[in-house]
């Protein structure tokens, strides 16, 4: 994963905010390196990460895959069909072309990181501008580890590149190790 950002998409309201969402849906923008993970693998994570057979109680929380080209559209539709054949429930996930993505407010970004003072304090010192914090690959990676993603082996291979102090490195290793046990 290169970076992730949360925001709003899929609607017609210009410049939505959390309190003025209009007809947009809360979403995650994922920037990835296709030499390290495929679009199909991202789709697999998408399907495993929620219950698309449960209807959203509002447009704000709809299950949507936004695609950027015909190949992504084809793969998204095929993955939806494959998921739908696994059970007898309707799949409510929409597959729609990507349009304007509106970045959510700073306080919504890097949720897991913000719950961990040791990490958010260090990254705020490195990235004093909120946009830099949001766009950082390192913050996306650490946020992912804190959210339960990634393996101890993955973390050990990249921990020196994340910009963390020795104390923060030790704490992140402890968290991921405890999760592995």
What is the per-residue pLDDT across 133-180, written as a single tens digit (0 to 9) for each? Answer: 999 999 999 999 999 989 999 999 999 999 999 999 999 999 999 987
Q: Please, what is the average pLDDT of the chain?
A: 94
pLDDT tops 90 at residue 85: no
Residues of the domain holding 46:
3-103
Residue 166: per-residue pLDDT: 97
- In the listed set 103, 129, 158, which residue is the last one of a domain according to the structure? 103
Q: Which residues contact 161 (CB under 8 A, 6 or more apart)?
A: 138
On whether the pTM is more than 0.95, the answer is no
CB 128 within 8 A of CB 157: no
Q: How many independent structural domains does the chain possess? A: 2
Which tens digits make up the pLDDT trace of 8-20? 999 999 999 999 9
Residue 147: per-residue pLDDT: 92
Residue 49: per-residue pLDDT: 87
pLDDT tops 90 at residue 86: no
Q: Give the sheet arrangement for strand 25-31, strand by strand.
A: 25-31, 3-9, 102-103
Do both 145 and 174 map to the same domain?
A: yes
Higher pLDDT, 50 or 93: 93
- 3-state SS record for the chain: CCEEEEEEECCCCCCCECCECCCCEEEEEEECCCCCCCHHHHHHHHHHCCCCCCCCCCHHHCCEEEECCHHHHHHHHHHHHHHHCCCCCCCCCEEEECCCCEECCHHHCCHHHHCCHHHHHHHHHHCCCHHHHHHCHHHHHHHHHHCCCCCHHHHHHHHHHCCCCHHHHHHHHHHHHHHHC
- In the listed set 103, 138, 169, which residue is the last one of a domain according to the structure? 103
Average pLDDT over residues 59-69: 96
pLDDT tops 80 at residue 5: yes
Do both 115 and 36 map to the same domain?
A: no
Average pLDDT over residues 117-146: 95
Residue 180: per-residue pLDDT: 74
Pairing of strands 94-97, 102-103: unpaired
| Token code pair at residue 94 | 């929409």
Do both 94 and 7 map to the same domain?
A: yes
Do both 8 and 80 map to the same domain?
A: yes
Do both 74 and 122 map to the same domain?
A: no
């Amino acid at each position: 994963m290169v970076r992730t950002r949360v925001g709003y998409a899929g609607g017609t309201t210009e410049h939505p905010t959390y309190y003025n969402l209009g007809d947009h849906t809360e979403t995650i923008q994922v920037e990835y390196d296709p030499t390290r993970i495929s679009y199909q693998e991202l789709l697999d994570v998408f399907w495993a990460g929620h219950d698309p057979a449960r209807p959203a109680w509002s447009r704000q929380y709809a299950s949507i895959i936004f695609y950027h080209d015909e190949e992504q559209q084809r793969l998204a539709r095929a993955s939806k069909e494959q998921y739908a054949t696994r059970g007898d429930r309707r799949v409510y996930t929409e597959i729609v072309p990507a349009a304007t993505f509106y970045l959510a407010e700073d306080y919504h970004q890097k949720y897991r990181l913000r719950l961990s003072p040791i990490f958010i304090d260090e990254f705020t010192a490195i990235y004093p501008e909120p946009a830099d914090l949001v766009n950082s690959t390192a913050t996306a990676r650490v946020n992912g580890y804190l959210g339960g993603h990634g393996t101890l082996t993955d973390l050990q291979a990249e921990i020196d590149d994340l910009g963390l102090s020795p104390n923060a490195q030790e704490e992140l290793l402890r968290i991921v190790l405890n999760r592995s046990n």
